[in-house]
Chain A
Amino acid sequence: MSIFTASITFAFVDDKGKTSSTKIRIPNTLSLAAISAFTLASAQVLADFSACQLTSARPCIGLDLSSATIRAIAGAGSDIAEKAWAIASTAFGTQSKMIMPTATDSYVLAGTDVIDETNLDVAAVVAVLEDGIVTTGGTIAPVDLRDNDLEAVDSFTEKFRKFTGR
């Protein structure tokens, strides 16, 4: 797997309240600052062209996962409707959740919907959420919407959700 492109999604709203979007791709060999600069400049061009209002400009950059260990095919019986819900809190008491599809039944404690955090695979996910991952530039640790560090996973449970995809 290699790094592909940065895909920038521009969202619009018209005066009736209807929404739509369009997308432009650029190489992701650029720095994040350069991608942001392109996004802002192209947003102005699109805003000038369109009679709608531009409501957001969101670049998404495909990350190279070639150094990750990823199974070649999905496990038998895996289902995206089977979720693992991790709720973590910050030092300020605010909470953030991560909902992970294709959870594994075998990690759930018998007679409960609680995921067993003593299991090594579960503990590894908890450790990432609480402590982050050490990278060349320093430790990147997950945060909440307001950029506050997640300090503790408060609950980790299995939940089933209806699949609404097409």
Chain B
Amino acid sequence: MPFEIVFTVADDVGKKATTSVKIPTTFLLADYVEFGAGMATALNNFLRGKILSADLCLDVDISSLTGNVTSGISDVEEIGAFEFVTAAGNRVKLNIPGMAELDTITGTNVLDETEAEVAAVITMMEDGIAGALPCDVGGDDIVDTLFAREHFRSSGRRR
């Protein structure tokens, strides 16, 4: 699958839309930055809207995941709601759809952090995984967990 650069454009009443172009996967990130800037300039001169951003998007092959199947009682509206804090004190939410009720402490909506699956999520967010540390929107490192709870929320599915 090729990579894709997605450009977001705003018009003069603030409405936004995107346009994208697919590109080969064999270059360095710095090269894609050069391409993105060059194409943004060409689009700026051609279009009347304002280019807000350009994002390089890639699809990672997840076929090697183990145990990645739906259980008979799975529901995306049942959420594992985590909230973390960064070194600068900023809060970061992570809402994971389809949590298992067995991961809560009996009589509460609190996730049991001694459960391996829950602990793995917290470790990943606080300490990173595969050499990368999760962060907030400004790039500030996540350092601690504020809470981990069960939460229910409508998926917003339209009928």
**Using a CB–CB distance below 8 Å, which chain A residues touch chain B?**
3-5, 7, 12-16, 18-28, 30-32, 34-54, 56-80, 84, 96, 98-104, 107, 121-122, 124-125, 127-129, 132-133, 135-138, 140-145, 147, 163, 165
Contact = CB atoms under 8 A, between A and B. Distances in A.
A51 B120 contact: no
A101 B101 CA distance: 45
B44 interface: yes
Contact of A14 (B39, B74, B92, B116): B74
Nearest to B111: A49
B65 interface: yes
A74 B28 contact: no
B122 to A, nearest CB: 10
Given A71-B50, A77-B48, A124-B46, A63 B60 contact: no
A133 B39 contact: yes
A135 B35 contact: yes
Nearest to A48: B117
B48 A140 contact: no
A125 B59 CA distance: 26
A72 B10 CA distance: 11
B68 A69 contact: no
Decide if the interface of chain B is mainly helix, strand, loop or mixed.
mixed
Interface residues of B, number: 100
B58 interface: yes
A127 B38 CA distance: 12
B66 A20 contact: no
Specify which of A58, A63, A75, A143 lies most central, judged by the most chain B CB atoms within 10 Å of its CB: A63
A147 B4 CA distance: 11
Given A80-B17, A103-B47, A125-B42, A136 B136 contact: no
A11 B39 CA distance: 29
Contacts of B12: 73-79
B96 to A, nearest CB: 5
A59 B133 contact: no
A140 B35 contact: yes
B23 interface: yes
Given A38-B132, A135-B27, A143-B22, A128 B39 contact: yes
B137 A45 contact: no
11 contacts: A4-B137, A15-B72, A24-B134, A27-B133, A27-B135, A37-B130, A45-B120, A58-B57, A63-B53, A78-B11, A141-B23
B109 interface: no
B51 A129 contact: no
Contacts of A107: 46
A102 B97 contact: no
Nearest to A35: B132
Given A104-B47, A133-B39, A47 B68 contact: yes
Nearest to A38: B132
Contacts of A165: 15-17
B45 A143 contact: no
